[in-house]
Amino acid sequence: MCSIFQITCDGALFNRCLDCFLGKAAYIRNLQDNLVALETELGNLIAIKNDLMRRVDDDERKQMIRLERVQRWISRVDAVKTEADQFIGDRSQEIEKLCVGGYCSKNCRSSYKFGKQVAKKLQDVKTLIAEGVFEAVATEVVAERAPEPVADKRPIEPTIVGLQSQLEQVWRCLVEESVGIIGLYGMGGVGKTTLLTHINNKFLESQNNFDCVIWVVVSKDLRLEKIQEDIGKKIGLSDDSWKNKSFEEKAVDILQRLGEKRFVLLLDDLWERVDLTKVGVPLPSAQNTTSKVVFTTRSIGVCGSMRARPVKVACLSEKQAWELFRENVGEETIESDHEIVELAQTVAKECGGLPLALITIGRSMAYRKKAEQWRRAIEELRRSASEFAGLGKEVYPLLKFSYDSLQNETIRSCFLYCCLYPEDYGILKWDLIDCWIGEGFLGESDRFGAENQGYDILDTLVRACLLEEVEDDEVKMHDVVRDMAIWITCEIEKEKRNFLVCAGEGLKEAPDVKRWENVRRLSLMQNQIETLSEVPTCPHLLTLFLDFNENLNMIADGFFQLMPSLKVLKMSNCVNLTLKLPLGMSKLGSLELLDVSHTGIRELPEELKLLVNLKCLTLRWTFELNKIPRQLISNSSRLRVLRMLGTGLLNFHQASEDSVLFGGGEVLIQELLGLKYLEVLELTLGSYHALQILLSSNKLKSCIRSLFLQLAGDATSIVDATAFTDLNHLNELYINKGFELEELKIDYTEIVRKRREPFVFRSLHHVTIWRCAKLKDSTFLVFAPNLKSLVLRNCHAMEEIISVGKFSEVPEMMRHMSPFENLQRLHVEDLPDLKSIHWKPLPFTHLKEMGVRACDQLEKLPLDSSSAKERKFVIRGEADWWNRLQWEDEATQIAFRSCFQPYS
């Protein structure tokens, strides 16, 4: 018996099955051709990608960033290539599976799967080519200019001991829309500014939605105008026209500009509420969640008045404090004696976790490698701490330890003297030493010995972290250290020192003169006092600072008549102080230092001849002074220091015959020749003849520190600069209005013969030459290895700063000299013929700023790739000039592009 099965099939179904079979067979049949095509098309795609990458790399060297769509296309190409390479690599073994002339396979399922993947990848490659992404970017742009950094990076120690959790807390507040203003509060020296600095720098390291971060130092002397200036600089409102606007107009501009940005305003050191709306800052609110304000303060009350979320910056834990203290003492000292580790931990505990104290005391102990020294330190710390109450118990005794650890009473007196200056004030070192000498702190009999002692003391105070070095020639006091110094003078040693410090307090009137009676040192510096109308009785007063009272226009006659002990009187930068000094100054029989620099006084009174003990007279930049009575200088027989740089410039050639300024300085020099004890001289001369008289005196040449030559009206065409080589202490040189001056001549052969070494201007740090229309070069500066600043203006014939031609005559030992090794600032302006600064590239190791304006023929700077290595300086100039500059190579051009800042 059999069964018969009959299968019927619909025609459409049959066709679909056939198509499916044939399609799958096609993946096998076309495998070899598809592999060849895949390899070919992949090569085309990679060639296109390589062409594109060359353009991208070129743009990125120009500080641009690649477009996102370009990066996505490149990433897809890389992924496809990786997969395609795998298929091409497996080609041989897959083709071996084929049979029947490639139409069938020994393993149909495997070959079908592989063939389908190859076909798919081939289509992916064709799609990437066909998409045309590369065509669009190749014909348009592949990158866009990198945005300006959201914040200016601020220098900070890399460690952030104990502050990491607070940094994270504040950062969370900054990204919360509900928090607009944040107040970081805590005691002085606890690390608020350090924390704020890390917040500032974190904006450069983290993704955020803010357009700009603005840093402003406020300090105790609150000035809304300064806050406006700092904000304006950051948001591009700092040209001259804006500076001349009123306070209210500036506020409108700031409001409009900031209203268009997501910004963060960082305010350091608030002592009271700041009305930011007056400044023009749109305050964060429920309606304005696009901006933030973060500030530091010592008072939680300020946080309340600013409606801020308070964040306490607390002292460090015991573990954190030990880590910070150990870091500042150094492992070598900690491990130098087995007892020191335990003793050092005790000292660290005595610091109470205050970072400033840990750092200050840690560094002061850094080289004390005997256990007994550490025991004495613990005793002193504990003894001081028991003497004070309130704030004194927590902060000042710790800081006072560094003060007590100073080697002698002289250094301690010099340190306390610094608190007479305002907060955040850059104190000129030489000016401070002048005062120390005037007070009698420095006991050396000769001026140079006393100055050296002064600089040694400054170095000691900087190393002890009681002063901070701002520049080579400036120091400043940390706010908390200054407060501690004032506290010492008022509370600890008030019987011996009697300080009254009102510096930078915004006073419009002087304090009641009754408070002055027992004072020895009084500072009314940097206030807004307009008149001193009362006559104080100050029998013990030794120092009086009136500097920077710019509104001061009247001092009563007799004001100084009851100050018989006064030794130091400073009235500099009282710009409204004009005409004569007050009568009665003849009573200042003990006065040793008188400073009226940067004032508008026009004559010195005859009675100054009676200041028989005057040793230092400073008249720097008294432009309008035209009368110094004859014999006033020569009668000052004890005068050791005379500073007259820029004196009488506006009236130099109109001085009357009864003034020592008459005749361009010849009369003055004759009087100076009679000063037996003169050691420091800063001089302004109005003629070449006066200069020759000066250079003929070995005595005066040994005294010269600063020289200002105003040669207007002088027919001299050549000045022999070789003669300047005898000015061994020349620090500043100014040459102005040398209309006929064609050359500052240097006899190289004579220099080498006489000195046997080329660097003859070793003390020369600052040179300014302007309005010398015929001067062709300033090649003599090649012999000034320590030059720090050079300013050249309105020298219309100058073609080179250092002349190449003159070097052909130079002896072999001098041909390889590299000038400007210590130069920090270079500014050239209105030198229309200037073609070269120097004939070859220079390293500019210390350069901070280069400014070029109206020097259209200067087409190349002395910079190359080695100049760019780790150099961070600013180059200012007009944009058109910058774009025309020629460079050694493209890499150098790219390296310096970020240094350029166009003039407004």
Whether residue 889 lies inside any domain: the answer is no
| 240 & 280 share domain | yes
Do 189 and 284 fall into the same domain? Answer: yes
Per-residue confidence (pLDDT) for residue 14, from 0 to 100: 36
Q: What is the pLDDT of residue 806?
A: 59
Bridge-based pairing of strands 474-476 and 600-601 is unpaired
Residues 301 and 376 in one domain: no
Query: Do residues 39 and 111 share a domain?
Result: yes
User: ∠133-139-145 over CA atoms, to 5°?
Assistant: 90
**Which residue type occupies 895?**
A
* Secondary structure (DSSP) of 622-686: -TT--B-BTTHHHH-TT--EEE-TTTTGGGGGG--TTBTTGGGGHHHHHHHTT-TT--EEEEEES
Q: Which of 468, 496, 524 is the last residue of a domain?
A: 496
Q: What is the mean pLDDT of residues 218-238?
A: 87
Do 133 and 232 share a domain, yes or no?
A: no
Record the tokens describing residue 682, joined without a space.
């800063």
Tokens of 531: 């008149």
Whether 620 is in a domain gets the answer no
Is residue 354 situated within a structural domain?
Answer: yes
- On whether both 183 and 255 belong to a single domain, the answer is yes
How many domains is the chain partitioned into structurally?
Answer: 3
The pLDDT score that the predictor gives to residue 900 is 93
Domain check: are 230 and 299 in the same one? yes
Mean pLDDT of 325-339: 91
Instruction: Judge whether residue 760 has pLDDT over 50.
Output: yes
Beta-strand relationship, 718-720 and 704-710? unpaired
> Measured between alpha carbons, how far is residue 842 from residues 236, 397, 860, 894 in Å?
32, 50, 12, 18
On whether residue 485 sits in a domain, the answer given is yes
The reply to whether 645 falls in a domain is no
Is the Cβ–Cβ distance between 767 and 733 less than 8 Å?
yes
Mean pLDDT, residues 606-612 taken together: 93
Residues 6+ apart with CB under 8 A from 114: 31, 87, 90, 94
pLDDT of residue 501: 93
- What's the distance, CA 816 to chain centroid? 32
Indicate the pLDDT class of residue 366, thresholds 50, 70 and 90. confident
Picking from 470, 496, 522, the residue at the C-terminal end of a domain is 496
Lowest mean pLDDT among 73-87, 499-513, 656-670, 888-902: 73-87
Average pLDDT, the chain: 85
Query: What's the pLDDT score for residue 17?
Result: 37
Mean pLDDT value of segment 611-632 = 94
Q: What pLDDT, on the 0 to 100 scale, is given for residue 393?
A: 59
Compare 903 and 10 and report the one with higher pLDDT.
Answer: 903
pLDDT band at 475 (very low <50, low <70, confident <90, very high): very high
Of the pLDDT bands very low, low, confident and very high (cuts 50, 70, 90), residue 46 is: confident
Q: Under DSSP, is residue 141 helix (H, G, I), strand (E, B) or coil?
A: coil
Answer yes or no: are the C-beta atoms of 281 and 231 closer than 8 Å: yes
More reliable by pLDDT, 384 or 668: 668
Q: The domain spanning residue 194 has which CATH number?
A: 3.40.50.300
CB 295 within 8 A of CB 214: no
Residue 358's CATH number? 1.10.10.10
Q: What is the pLDDT of residue 643?
A: 98
Domain match, 390 and 308 both:
no
SS3 268: strand
- Does a structural domain hold residue 482? yes
Beta carbons within 8 Å of 796's beta carbon, 6+ residues apart: 773, 774, 830, 831, 832, 833
pLDDT band at 400 (very low <50, low <70, confident <90, very high): confident
Ranges 361-370, 427-436, 736-745, 773-782, most confident: 427-436
Count of CB atoms situated within 10 Å of the CB of 101: 7
Of 521, 513, 569, 525, the closest CA to residue 549 belongs to 525
pLDDT digits (tens, 9 = 90+) for 695-723: 999 999 999 999 999 987 777 888 888 88
**Residues in the chain, overall count:** 904
Residues of the chain above pLDDT 70, percent: 87
Does a structural domain hold residue 753? Answer: no
44-48, 438-442, 865-869: the lowest-pLDDT one: 865-869
- Is the pLDDT score of 55 beyond 80? no
Between 472 and 589, the more confident residue is: 589
Question: Is 188 found in the same domain as 87?
Answer: no
**Could you give phi then psi for residue 579, rounded to 5 degrees?**
55, -130
* pLDDT given at position 357: 82
**Residue 811: its pLDDT value, please?**
55
pLDDT at site 808: 55
Q: Read off the pLDDT of each residue in 315-327 and give the average, rounded to a whole number.
A: 91
Could you list the residue range(s) of the whole structural domain that residue 397 is in? Answer: 342-363+371-496
What are φ and ψ of residue 669, in 5° steps? Answer: -65, -40
Does residue 274 sit in the same domain as residue 172? Answer: yes
More confident residue, 670 or 89: 670
Higher-confidence residue of 158 and 520: namely 520
Final residue before a domain boundary, out of 450, 468, 496: 496
Query: What average pLDDT does the segment 815-825 reach?
Result: 83
Kindly state whether residues 28 and 138 are assigned to the same domain.
yes
pLDDT given for residue 522 in this prediction:
97
Among 135-139, 142-146, 293-297, 400-404, top mean pLDDT goes to 293-297
Give the model confidence (pLDDT) of 133-189 as tens digits: 544 444 455 555 555 678 888 888 776 788 888 888 888 888 777 788 999 988 788
Structure tokens that stand for 751 in this block: 């220099």
**CA–CA separation, 850 vs 838, rounded Å?**
14
Residue 745 has pLDDT above 90, yes or no: no
CA distance 360 to 400: 10
Q: In this structure, are 35 and 83 located in the same domain?
A: yes
For residue 707, the model assigns a pLDDT of 97
Q: What share of the chain is helix, strand, coil (3-state, %, to 5)?
A: 45, 15, 40
Q: Which residues contact 642 (CB under 8 A, 6 or more apart)?
A: 616, 617, 619, 633, 672, 675, 678, 680, 681, 682, 683
Percent of the chain topping pLDDT 90: 46
Segment 266-281 shows an average pLDDT of 92
Average pLDDT on 46-56 reads 80
pLDDT for 503 beyond 60: yes
Contact 836, 800 (CB under 8 A): yes
Tell me what the mean pLDDT of segment 506-522 comes to.
93
- How far separated are the first and last CA of the chain, in Å rounded? 111
Strands annotated E in 747-856: 766-770, 789-793, 825-829, 849-853
Residue position matching structure tokens 């104080």: 536
pLDDT at 19: 41
Average of per-residue pLDDT across 800-814 = 66
Q: Where does the pLDDT of residue 387 fall: very low under 50, low under 70, confident under 90, or very high at 90 and above?
A: very low
Can you tell me whether residue 151 is helix, strand or coil? coil
| Dihedral pair phi/psi, residue 673, rounded to 5° | -60, -20
Task: Give CA–CA dist 21/15, Å, rounded.
Answer: 10
